[in-house]
Every structure is written in structure tokens, then in C-alpha cells.
Structure 1
Amino acid sequence: MKTFGKGLLSASLGLLAFGLLLFVPAGTLHYWQAWMFLAVFAVSTWIPSIYLMRTNPAALQRRMRAGPLAESRPLQRLVITAVFLCFAAIFVLSALDHRFGWSMVPTPVCLLGDALVAIGLGVAMVVVIQNGYAAANVTVEAGQTLVSTGLYGWVRHPMYTGNVLLMIGTPLALDSYWGLVLLLPGMVLLVLRIRDEERLLTAELSGYREYTKKVRYRLFPYFW
């Protein structure tokens, strides 16, 4: 119940922060795309979280330890801070785009964005289910074992694959094409995070070097 209470509080505060980042710059509550996005985000995170709470609460606790203060590596603190700022900027820029009509996104494209958001978040949660050590911060725990099956059989960092889908889908869901300009810096930050994380995993996680030879791609099959 303690984990459930923390999770509920964290989710509620997160949605409140998202709402402020969207509705304040939009200048209105009549922004159905934002309401739809928040609903999709909530459902796509709460249902898997409840499942993890019942089946693997330790994995859920690892996912809740997020943010710069949870990182032990200096580069990761800088990167994750920049990632949070980039994601917040996507919200604000997309809301401003909606407010001033800089780009006109058809409703089917907005719904496609919502689908990408749901898929991206779903991929991230499946990763946690398949790998209970998949934390929100970069670390190797005592007794941690290598997972090379499931989504990890396709790419080495499937959680970040889900994050990319989330970054693509978010501005589209929020009625903005201009928000996509922040995809490039977001991708650069993910690449920096992955490269530093792989140095740690190669050094401290048994079998990881051999795994990288078996699964060649980090983020997307046949690309990188």
C-alpha cells in the first residue's frame, strides 16, 4: 500500500504538471487534444503500474526512482535534466502552436499521435515487465542478470525506443507539427545517454559485451 500511495501521488502530481504546461500556454481549457493526450497517458501508465504493483512491486519502485537526483553518474544527471526540459518544451511549444494556429493538424493525425503515445508508453512498461531491473536511472544492481529475450532480442535499449515513439506522438497528439522540431535534440540526448549507459553495462554487467555482439542494434532494428 505504501508503494501504491507513492505511485498515486506521483501520477497525480505528474498529470497536474502536464496540465499546467499545456493549458496555461494554450490560454484555454477548450483544448480537446490536450485532454485526450492526458487521458491516454494516464491509462497507458496507470494500468501497467497497477499490474506491476501486484506482480513485481520492486520493479515499480525502480521505475519511480527517476530524475537527476536518482542518477549516480555526472553525465547522466546533465542528460536527464536536459531530457526533462526538452519534454516540457515539447508541451509548451505544442500548446502555443495550438493557441496561435501556426500549424493545422488534422484530427486523424492527432489520433495517430495518441496511438504512438500509447504504444511508446506500452513498450516502456513491457520492458519493465520483461526485465525487473529496468530502472528509470542508469545503474547496475547487485545480483542483476542480463536479459536478452523478448524486446531485448530485437534492440538493446527497447525502453528508449518507446521514448522515441512518445516524443514523436506527443506533439502530433497535441495538435502541433512545430513541436516535432524538438525531436532532434531529444534524440541527441538519448544517444548520449545510451552511449554512457553502455559503457557502464559493459564494465559491470556480466555477459553484456557478448550480448552486444548478438544484438547489434541499440534503438531501432536495421538502423542504429
Structure 2
Amino acid sequence: MDQLTNKAVKGVVGLTVSLGLLIFLPAWTIHYWQGWAYLIAFCLPTLLITLYLAKYDQELLARRVDAGPSAETEKSQQYIQAITGLLALALVIVSVIDWYQEWSRVSSLFSIIADGLILVGFYIVFRVFQENSYTIATIKVDTNQSVTTTGPYAIVRHPMYSGAFLIFIATPPALGSYWALLISILLTIGLGFRAVDEERFLVRNLQGYSNYCQTTKYRLIPFVW
């Protein structure tokens, strides 16, 4: 295993451990099947996508490894990433506390369906990576980069965020919560702010992006926005 792949896989392992702690410490038990199902639905696709990129697109994997607010050069994006990161932590913790305190009564079937939606969200992310090797974790334009208009980009301008939207919305019911959907809404608003701010940057710096915005009408959700 090369150094980049080793670093990326270690990152996934660290994510799995951290997410497991976020789930099972507030639950105060390991007898929480919704937590285990969510952990698998979230981390297994993450690992598979990482291994795919390690084999077929190491340049993209290298770009994705450099993530987080500190990697951003745009101040507005640093703030948005920091806030959405905190909200994502709160989303999981509040969902688990809701389940533990039994504030919501989410059926087992609905939790399983929500796990399925999370897998769909990750599949959209995977298709984005297949179509666009410039899907980096920070907002910038690389030399020779062109506008991607195929695959999911033919439907919405920010399909990566569409996949994230599904994951955010499905997380609370997957973990047995309805109340945490309020945080999902805030995260979706954060995605919207990030998408709009990103478009301002791309219109200024990526040739052809303005025309793309005119031909592909929807940003995040087809037929809605």
C-alpha cells in the first residue's frame, strides 16, 4: 500500500472510530442496532470510495485528503465549513440522545429506509468522483480545469451537495430521531450558502461556468432549487 493510500485509509479508520464514539457514548450502550447500521452505512461506502480512488484516481484522492476549514483560502468558505462541521457533530449527538431519551418513536422500517437513503447519497458522491476529477475538498480552480456537464452534473450544478443533503436528512431517522431533523435543515441551509458562494467564485475564475449555470437550472435539488 503506497503512502497516499495508507494515509487515506488511516483517515477512514479514524473517522470510523470517532463516529463510533459519537454514537455509542451518548447512547450509553452498544445494544443499539440503529447505531451499528448507521456506522456501517456511513463508513463502508467511505472506505470503498477511498479504495476506488486509490486505484483509479490518485490525484483526486490526494486533493480530497487535504480537507477542512484550514485548507480553504476563501474566508467565507472557512466560516461555512467550520459551522457546518459543528452542526454535523451535533446532528449525530442529538439524534442519539433523542433515541436514548425516547423523545421520538421512529419505526424500525423507517430507520432501515433512512439507511438506504444514506447509501444512495454516497452513490451520488461516488458518481460525482467518477465524472469530475477536480472535485476537491477546497474551492479553487486548477490549471486546465474545465466545466463538467455530464453524469449528475447534467441534473444539478452541485451533485456532491445533493448527496450530502440526502445523508444529512436521513441521519436522524436512521439513528432513531425526528427532533434532530431541525439540525438537518440548518445543515441544508449551510450547503445552500456554500453552493451560492462557490458559484460566485467559479463564475469569476472558471471559463464556461456562467454558461453552465444558464443551461443547468437547478443547484441542489432537481425541480426545487
Q: Same fold (TM over 0.5)?
A: yes
Aligned to 1:152: 153
Misfit runs of 4+, over 6 Å: none
The 3-state SS of whatever aligns with 2:180 is helix
Task: Write the distance in 1 (CA, Å) between the matches of 2:164 and 2:89.
Answer: 14
CA shift digits 1:51-96 (9 cap, x unpaired): 1111111111222221111111001001001111111001100110
Aligned-partner residue type, residue 94 of structure 1: S
How far apart are residue 48 of structure 1 and its match? 2.0
1:104 aligns with 2:99: no
Aligned-partner residue type, residue 62 of structure 1: R
How far apart are residue 41 of structure 1 and its match? 1.3
Task: Write the distance in 1 (CA, Å) between the matches of 2:197 and 2:142.
Answer: 17
Task: Write the distance in 1 (CA, Å) between the matches of 2:3 and 2:126.
Answer: 21
Aligned to 2:210: 209
1:9 aligns with 2:5: no
Aligned pairs for 1:113-124 (under 5 A) are 113-124=114-125
Aligned to 1:164: 165
Q: Identity across aligned pairs (percent)?
A: 35
TM-score (norm. length: structure 2) = 0.97
Aligned pairs for 1:189-208 (under 5 A) are 189-208=190-209
Task: Write the distance in 1 (CA, Å) between the matches of 2:37 and 2:224.
Answer: 32
Unpaired runs of 5+ residues, structure 2, are none
Task: Write the distance in 2 (CA, Å) between the matches of 1:116 and 1:187.
Answer: 16
How far apart are residue 49 of structure 1 and its match? 1.7
Question: 2:45 touches 2:119 (CA, 8 Å); kept in 1?
Answer: yes
Aligned-partner residue type, residue 172 of structure 1: P
Aligned to 2:136: 135
Aligned to 2:71: 70
Aligned to 1:21: 22
The 3-state SS of whatever aligns with 2:120 is helix
The 3-state SS of whatever aligns with 2:221 is coil
How far apart are residue 196 of structure 1 and its match? 0.8
Task: Write the distance in 2 (CA, Å) between the matches of 1:222 and 1:216.
Answer: 9
Aligned-partner residue type, residue 168 of structure 1: I
Aligned to 2:38: 37
TM-score (norm. length: structure 1) = 0.97
How far apart are residue 16 of structure 1 and its match? 1.2
Q: How many residues align?
A: 224
Task: Write the distance in 1 (CA, Å) between the matches of 2:103 and 2:180.
Answer: 11
